[in-house]
Amino acid sequence: MKILKLSICMIGIALISSSCELLNPQPKSPVEAKATTIDNISILPEPLNTAAGGSSFIIFDALSILSNPSQEKNQTALISGLEERIGFAPELIENNRDYQITLSVAPLSKEEVWMVDTTNEALLNEAYILEISEKNILLKAATDEGLFRGIQSLLQLVPNQSMTEGEQEVYVLPTVKIVDMPQMEIRSAMLDVARHFFSVEEVKRYINQLALYKFNTFHMHLTDDQGWRVEMKNWPALTEIGAATEVGGGAGGFYTQEEFTELINYAAHRHIEIIPEIDMPGHTNAAIVSYPQLNGNGKTPEVYTGTNVGFSTFDANNEEVYAFLDDILGQFAAISPSKYIHIGGDESHVTKKKDYIKFVERVEALVRKHGKVVVGWDEISQADISGPAVVQLWNNEENALVGVEKGMPILLSPAKKAYLDMKYNEDSEFGLNWAAYIELEDAYNWNPSTYFSDLDPSVILGLEAPLWSETIYDSASLEYLAFPRAIAYAELAWTQSDKYNWERFKTKLKSHGSWLEKQEINFYRSTEIDW
């Protein structure tokens, strides 16, 4: 009797198990897992810690993503990124099964991030753990931002070419565990849209490219002698006159406030913060020609389409200037969620020094009044700024050191190392060479953390790669100067400096070439890389 009951129970269990498999069938891979090595893991920037699993995860048409309603934006980013690479959108499922991707936002334990030695919350917010086994992928982070950074690493692991198994197209990923976080708080690129105007779609394209390589900040140089590029309520001439042209006399253009907000939101969905720059007191001809009462150089202003610098200035002793700027800065503060507003401050050659200092101090107070923190090029350190501020090194290292003495952290953008508008060599199709020729190896082979050998690295807030637009005018010319150097700067800012390795970077970058080509990115084919 006991044997009969046991048999019935076993039959029941088998039926239940069979029923569960019918309700939630487990997919079967059309190909066996293949052995891999760490050489297959070509993630850039280089992660903090990578442990290869020695096997593989097979992507085929049964790939799914475990639905997580709290991660709708990241799920969308992952699905669209995968669809772009593998040609189909993975299914969102409600129950666990094999060959699925799970996105998890939860605090990371000390055991999980044992090699991370920092208390910097901004850096920890971008940490993630990516675990790929033969049948599942788990991506964990403490924040949505960290999860997004991990998604970029996962997408980079998807090969650009599939394998054919019978009638099935499959993609082979290495099994691996990655624990990763950034070295620097700000990892930025700048685009000058004042000298040549770039459309909303062109800017979005660049933001997308930067997001894949874990940039988290995008500095927009919005005003200069040649153009004012954002609509300002109450000041229509800024766009009617100030935005009408550009270098070379082209049509120019501007963003409505709604379009600028669209760009801010587009970047924010990719966890990139846009910092607006209104350059002053120099580089202000477009504003001055629109409203001549702001002029401080004693000459009749005219529309300018050349590339000279240093000839324009606001009148630092005119209260109308500060009333104008109070309104302008207030409007930018209202539409920009960034904690920062960049006030430029460079190359004010015709502004008397005492007037320059007075001006910077007055404008910093206005920025602070509107709840923001000032960022300025290294000349601003001459002023005695009352509130917090960031000094951005571009030219004069002594200025940056003075800023540190006054309590300012440094954002590094030394022109001779980090300017994306510098030519690669004398044969470069675009760019300038006043600071240096910057080949890819030159862009990579330096250490931002020890750029100032006598400074505590903690005063380095981050690294920015500016791209000035005297010689570029569309996405193709932009991309020629930006890539692949922007990827090198991404690694210098993200990766721990003891992991910098030019030979390893070259090898990994080679594997990214086919992806850049697939995206029709007009990158410079450096002869230093065996593409």
Residue 69 neighbours by CB distance under 10 Å: 6
- Among 154-163, 234-243, 365-374, 518-527, the minimum mean pLDDT is found in 154-163
Q: Give the tens place of pLDDT for each residue, 118-140.
A: 778 899 999 999 999 999 999 99
**Boundaries of every domain in the chain:** 38-180, 188-470
The CA-atom distances, in angstroms, between 278 and each of 193, 329, 331 are: 12, 9, 12
What CA–CA distance (Å, rounded) separates 12 from 158? Answer: 43
pLDDT for the residue numbered 39: 63
Catalytic residues: 347
Contact assessment for residue 418 and residue 428, using Cβ atoms and an 8 Å cutoff:
no
Residue 15 has pLDDT above 50, yes or no: no
H or E stretch covering 405? helix 397-405
What CA–CA distance (Å, rounded) separates 79 from 511? Answer: 22
**Higher-scoring residue by pLDDT: 34, 191:** 191
What CA–CA distance (Å, rounded) separates 500 from 516? Answer: 22
Q: Which residues are within 8 A (CB) of 381 and not within 5 positions of it... i.e. 6 or more apart?
A: 391, 399, 400, 402, 403, 406, 408
What CA–CA distance (Å, rounded) separates 274 from 206? Answer: 13
Q: Give the tens place of pLDDT for each residue, 454-487.
A: 999 999 999 999 999 999 999 999 999 999 999 9
Q: Which two tokens stand for residue 342?
A: 């960049």
Residues 227-234, mean pLDDT to the nearest whole number: 99
What CA–CA distance (Å, rounded) separates 148 from 423? Answer: 33
What CA–CA distance (Å, rounded) separates 334 from 260? Answer: 12
Would you say domain 188-470 falls under CATH 3.20.20.80? yes
pLDDT for the residue numbered 111: 73
pLDDT for the residue numbered 18: 41
What CA–CA distance (Å, rounded) separates 208 from 203? Answer: 9
Residues 146-160, mean pLDDT to the nearest whole number: 97
**Confidence class of residue 115 from pLDDT cuts 50, 70 and 90?**
low
DSSP state of 236: T
DSSP state of 18: H
Q: Give the tens place of pLDDT for each residue, 399-437.
A: 999 999 999 999 999 999 999 999 999 999 999 999 999
**Confidence class of residue 1 from pLDDT cuts 50, 70 and 90?**
very low
What CA–CA distance (Å, rounded) separates 391 from 384? Answer: 12
- Compute the chain's Rg from CA coordinates: 26
Considering the entire predicted model, what is its pTM?
0.94
User: Could you write out the DSSP letters of every residue in 146-165?
Assistant: HHHHHHHHHHHHS-SS-EEE
Contact assessment for residue 143 and residue 128, using Cβ atoms and an 8 Å cutoff:
no
pLDDT for the residue numbered 114: 61
Q: Give the tens place of pLDDT for each residue, 167-207.
A: 788 999 999 999 999 999 999 999 999 999 999 999 999 99
**Confidence class of residue 33 from pLDDT cuts 50, 70 and 90?**
low
Q: Domain 38-180 has what CATH class?
A: alpha beta
What CA–CA distance (Å, rounded) separates 194 from 284? Answer: 11
**Higher-scoring residue by pLDDT: 42, 168:** 42
Residue 215 has pLDDT above 90, yes or no: yes
The CA-atom distances, in angstroms, between 487 and each of 44, 190, 426, 525 are: 7, 14, 22, 13
Contact assessment for residue 374 and residue 341, using Cβ atoms and an 8 Å cutoff:
yes
Helical ranges in 170-242 per DSSP H = 200-212, 237-240
Residues 24-38, mean pLDDT to the nearest whole number: 65
